[in-house]
Amino acid sequence: MTNENPNPVVNVNFSTRSNGAIAIISINYPPVNALSGQVRSGLVNAIESLENNDKVKVIIIRCQGKTFIAGADIKEFGKPATEPFLPDVVNRIEACTKPVIAALFGTSLGGGFEVALSCHYRVALSTAKVGLPEVNLGLIPGAGGTQRLMRILGPEKSLEMITSGRHINVKSFADSSLIDVIVEDGQSGLTGLDKVGTVDKIDKLDEATIAFASQLIETNHLTPKRIGDLPVDGAAFNWQQAKVAITKKARGKLAPVVAFDVLEKTQAMNISNGMAYEREQFLMLRASPQSAALIHAFGAEKKAAKISNTATPLKVTNVGIIGGGNMGSGIATSFLSANFKVQLIEQTNEALEAGLIRIKNNFSNNVKRGRMSQQAADSCIANLSGSIDYQALADCDLVLEAVFENIDVKKELFKKLTEICKPTTVFATNTSYLDINAIAQSISRPEQLVGMHFFSPANIMKLLEVVQADKTSEQVIATAMQVGKQLKKVSVLVGVCFGFAGNRMYTRYGREIQQMLLEGAKVEQIDNAMTNWGMAMGPLAVQDLSGIDIGHSARSAQPFPEHDKGYFRAAATMVEANRLGRKTKAGFYDYDEIGKKQFSSIVQSLLEQKAKSLNIKQVTFSDEQIVQRALFALISEGLALLKEGIVQRVSDIDVIWLHGYGFPRYKGGPMFQAKQLGRDVVKQQLTELRESLAKDKANKIWPEVDMEVFQTLF
Ligand code: 3HC
């Protein structure tokens, strides 16, 4: 074997089969063989040199490491693009006069899948996945992906794949000509081939790909099969219906709608004109604020998982969960789904039985909704046991409590656990607001206590706040972050304060919404303004759903902020009128028999009376004013969190809001919004809000902008 290519990440070797007529282009660019400039130029150079090599009849493109090309190189985003550009690379591959075969394994994504589509054949391991996830970055495929996929799969399946961004297992394409050979993973040999023996998966894929190449040579099938030459079969497709469905599902996102437009407009064009239009639209999206926000969100999530401490996490297998209510059972479901062994503890046999049923119901729902097979659900449930005896927790590696929010109850509980559990057990509390330092002070092993704050429903919501108390050891923090990763959560490390990062900001957001209600903004107007702006739900509809009394009682445990006379008075007014939300069929809205929400004139008059009694003048709001006040309240509180060191980095705040509170991903998060608005606008608007809404000089609600912290945003 000889390497004829000096490029450090793209090597060329020759198979010993077929007298060296099979050339193998091998990409080695860890971690995911992304399409960096070096990879792109290496590919073009290799194709050109092999095309001119008379000995070579067939070319294979394969990757080393854990995956075929997983897309454009994220590290190059935001930098000026360098030649060769990806469309030129894929066109060069497709134009090659010798057959080119892609050997797929792992995840062939975005530009990586576009490279595969430009090859003339595709051989894939049965576990391989392919996808065009560009929409998740606010983009569409920009190197022929829309054009070649539509030619080989037809418009319907292509649109589904491009607008969802889903990674799809290659077996789903068994009835199309997208994949030419699927190599069963786990088999020890392949029909018609030499026995493979005990080789790793990639060797097996290489074997099968080389065998396929040999077959092309032996049967003299050496004319390249170019997808770009195929016509689009779109006549029978109902484009109008698809447009309506895609636009509705996009909910404000541009990229899926643009993807539809590109497919519809180019269906009758040749590949070259189609690719030119695709590229134009790709470049338009690449310059859009939505794409910038989505790329920010992607990077912010990757950063959030990183912590500065290098302690080795403890191994966690057995997990104890105390409390089988909605939260505890959701958390247990999450652990079981990640193959942990779970011991559920409740106070009585009846409560335990109810908790176990809740967990089993969560799994039944997963099966019903097609999220997992019955077999997978059964094997998760087999790891579940329950007890009313705390001694059952003695050997647990991690014990997490999800009991009633009362600090004395929690202190007692952890005292008991330190007596029962083995010396290395990590203790975690799921408290949403309570002072974890105060709990830690009351136990003999404070360094082993950490906050693990899940969001409801815990088996669905991705966010996990890992709360570091003053004495929590580095190893315990590393363990909690590692467990979060195993649970497939987006974990963010935060410090202790009332509500930690997420709920503290949520309280500030809620306060502003409530204040605007007293100042004359209407319930529906607030909810509509915020959802039209992109929030997943209106803030008042959320309160009705979660129960107005829940937040009210958490706030009641805190001293009333005298400087803020309207502080959550609207919610208190609802609680006094026994309008607790959906559960009482009355909250900020009225609810009919089937749970449909309706405007409530009673609420309107209750709020007007309350405003009058507090001497708050009612005015008319525009939707823009509502959004501005709510957003700037978040930005202002985010700056305070940064100043106090509650979060590690500014982008962590965005991650929390994207995954815990329904902030529109295509807007990147509240702090990214501030960045996009720009230093001058943010400073001016925060100052104006401070001045126009300040009734006392100290103005604790809209504090002065701290310039040092403010700089970290930009
Ligand atoms: N470029 C550079 N690095 C990448 C990368 C990419 N496209 N994708 C992932 N990585 C890096 C990650 O940052 C991480 O680095 P780290 O170890 O230093 O933190 C490492 O690869 C492993 O990533 P994960 O922890 O996410 O590993 P997983 O095994 O869980 O997932 C994956 C691997 C499925 C490839 C996942 O990382 C992923 O989905 N990546 C994004 C892929 C993507 O969106 N590609 C399309 C880009 S758009 C495009 O190609 C079109 C173009 O025309 C613009």
Report the number of distinct structural domains present in the chain.
3
Which residue, judged by its Cα, is nearest atom 45 of ligand 1? 71
pLDDT of residue 191: 35
Percentage of residues in the chain having pLDDT higher than 90: 87
Ligand 1 atom closest to the CA of 112, numbered from 1: 50
Domain co-membership, 469 together with 561 = no
Q: Render pLDDT for 285-294 as a digit per residue (tens, 0 to 9).
A: 999 999 999 9
Among 460, 494, 528, give the residue marking a domain's end. 494
Q: Does residue 102 lie within any of the structural domains? A: yes
Assess if residue 329 is contained within a domain. Answer: yes
Q: From the CA of 66, give the closest atom in ligand 1.
A: 29
Q: Is 397 in the pocket of ligand 1 (CB under 6 A)?
A: no
Give per-residue pLDDT as tens, 612-630: 999 999 999 999 999 999 9
Distance between CA atoms of residues 475 and 486, nearest Å: 16
Q: Compute how many other C-beta atoms are within 10 angstroms of the C-beta atom of residue 394.
A: 16
From CA 653, how far away is CA 643, in angstroms rounded?
13
Pair 148, 122 in one domain: yes
Considering the domain architecture, whether residues 593 and 465 belong to the same structural domain is answered as no
pLDDT digits (tens, 9 = 90+) for 472-487: 999 999 999 999 999 9
Q: Which of 494, 522, 553 is the last residue of a domain?
A: 494
**Residue 133 near ligand 1, beta carbon < 6 Å:** yes
Residue 301 CB partners (closer than 8 Å, separation 6+): 490, 655
Peptide bond into 87 cis (omega under 30): no
For ligand 1, whether the C-beta of 137 sits within 6 Å is yes
Tell whether 275 and 338 lie within a shared domain: no
Q: Nearest residue CA, atom 38 of ligand 1?
A: 70
Residues 78 and 157 in one domain: yes
Taking residues 173-180, report their average pLDDT.
94
How confident is the model over 119-140, as pLDDT tens digits?
999 999 999 999 999 999 999 9
Cβ of 346 closer than 6 Å to ligand 1, yes or no, is no
Q: Nearest CA to 158 among 171, 147, 169, 170?
A: 147
**By alpha-carbon position, which residue is closest to atom 36 of ligand 1?**
70
pLDDT at 188: 40
Domain endpoint, select from 285, 303, 326: 285
Q: How confident is the model at residue 201 (pLDDT cuts 50, 70, 90)?
A: low
In ligand 1, the atom with minimum distance to the C-alpha of 110 is 50
Q: How far is the CA of 70 from the centre of ligand 1 (A)?
A: 6
357 and 477 together in one domain: yes
Residue 252 belongs to domain spanning: 2-285
Q: Is the beta carbon of 86 within 6 A of some atom in ligand 1?
A: yes
Whole-angstrom distance, CA of residue 182 vs CA of residue 251: 37
| Residue closest by Cα to atom 22 of ligand 1 | 31
305 within some domain: no
- Answer yes or no: is the C-beta of 74 below 6 A from any ligand 1 atom: yes
User: How high is the mean pLDDT of the chain?
Assistant: 94
Q: Is 156 exposed, middle or buried (0-12, 13-18, 19+ CB in 10 A)?
A: middle
Does the pLDDT at position 695 exceed 70?
Answer: no
Instruction: Name the closest-CA residue to atom 14, ligand 1.
Output: 31
CB of 134 closer than 6 angstroms to any ligand 1 atom: yes
Q: Ligand 1: which residue has its CA nearest to atom 20?
A: 31
- Which tokens is 63 given? 């990757």
- CB neighbour list of residue 236: distance below 8 Å, 6 or more residues apart: none
Residue 405 inside a domain? The answer is: yes
* pLDDT at position 705: 86
Same domain, 436 and 516: no
Best probe residue, ligand 1, of 9, 29, 32, 114 (max atoms within 8 Å of C-beta): 32
> Is there a single domain that holds both residue 523 and residue 550?
yes
Query: Is 658 within a domain?
Result: no
Among 74, 279, 294, 462, the mutation site with the greatest number of ligand 1 atoms within 8 A of its Cβ is 74
Give the CB-side neighbour count of residue 235, counting CA atoms within 13 A: 2
Whether 519 is a known active-site residue: answer no
Q: Which residue has a Cα nearest atom 13 of ligand 1?
A: 302
Whether the predicted pLDDT of 698 surpasses 90: no
Distance 75 CA to ligand 1 centre (A): 10
> Which atom of ligand 1 lies closest to the CA of 143?
53
554: enclosing H helix or E strand: helix 548-556
For residue range 268-310, what is the model confidence (pLDDT) as tens digits? 999 999 999 999 999 999 999 999 999 999 999 999 999 998 9
Would you say residue 197 has pLDDT above 50? Answer: no
By percentage, how much of the chain surpasses pLDDT 70?
A: 96
* CB of residue 139 inside a 6 A radius of ligand 1: yes
pTM, rounded to two decimals? 0.90
Question: Looking at 114, 346, 465, 637, which residue is catalytic?
Answer: 114
Could you report the per-residue pLDDT of 544-582, keeping only the tens digit for each? 998 999 889 888 888 899 889 899 999 999 999 999 999
CA of 66 to the centre of ligand 1 (A): 12
For residue 136, give the ligand 1 atom closest to its CA. Answer: 44
* pLDDT for 2 beyond 90: no
CA-nearest residue, atom 40 of ligand 1: 70
* CA atoms of 109 and 114, how far apart (whole Å): 8
Strands in 490-495's sheet, in edge-to-edge order, are: 384-387, 341-345, 318-322, 398-401, 426-429, 449-454, 463-468, 490-495
Between the CA of 495 and the centroid of ligand 1 the distance, in Å, is 29
Average pLDDT on 581-595 reads 95
pLDDT at 696: 59
Residue 196 pLDDT exceeds 90: no
The answer to whether the CB of 302 is under 6 A from ligand 1 is yes
Q: Is the CB of 111 under 6 A from ligand 1?
A: yes
Same domain, 448 and 515: no
Query: How far apart are alpha carbons 125 and 121 in whole angstroms?
Result: 14
Please give the Cα distance from 70 to 133 (Å, whole number).
10
**In this structure, are 479 and 515 located in the same domain?**
no
* Residue, of 543 and 185, whose pLDDT is higher: 543
Q: Which atom of ligand 1 is closest in space to residue 111's alpha carbon?
A: 50
524 catalytic residue (yes or no): no
User: What's the whole-number mean pLDDT along residues 231-250?
Assistant: 95
Which residue's CA lies nearest to atom 54 of ligand 1?
Answer: 72
Ligand 1, residue 305: give the atom nearest the CA: 19
* 143 Cβ closer than 6 Å to some ligand 1 atom: yes
Angstrom distance (rounded) from CA 156 to CA 618: 52
Same domain, 342 and 477: yes
Determine the straight-line distance between the first and last CA of the chain, rounded to whole angstroms. 52
Q: Is the CB of 70 under 6 A from ligand 1?
A: yes
Q: How many residues make up the chain in this entry?
A: 714
Q: Is residue 293 part of a domain?
A: no
Q: Whose CA is nearest to atom 35 of ligand 1?
A: 70
**Where residue 4 falls among pLDDT bands split at 50, 70, 90?**
low
Pick the catalytic residue from 94, 134, 207, 301: 134
Instruction: Report which ligand 1 atom has the smallest distance to the Cα of 70.
Output: 35
Is the alpha carbon torsion for 78, 79, 80, 85 positive or negative? Answer: negative
- H/E run at residue 181: strand 181-183
Q: Determine, yes or no, domain membership for 532.
A: yes
Residue 428: CATH number of its domain: 3.40.50.720
Assess whether 486 and 511 both reside in one domain: no
- Ligand 1 contact via 32 beta carbon (within 6 Å): yes
For residue 399, the model assigns a pLDDT of: 98
For residue 59, is pLDDT > 90?
Answer: yes
Which residue's CA is the nearest one to ligand 1's atom 26?
Answer: 302
CA atoms within 13 A on the CB side of 691: 6
34 lines ligand 1 (CB under 6 A): yes
- Rounded to the nearest whole angstrom, what is the distance from the C-alpha of residue 109 to the centroid of ligand 1? 9
Rounded Cα gap, residues 710 and 279, in angstroms: 38
CA pseudo-torsion sign 191, 17, 204, 220 = negative
The 3-class SS string of 403-423 reads CCCCHHHHHHHHHHHHHHCCC
Q: Whose CA is nearest to atom 17 of ligand 1?
A: 31
Of 185-189, 221-225, 460-464, the range with the lowest mean pLDDT is 185-189
Answer yes or no: is 41 within a domain: yes
CATH of the domain at 630: 1.10.1040.50
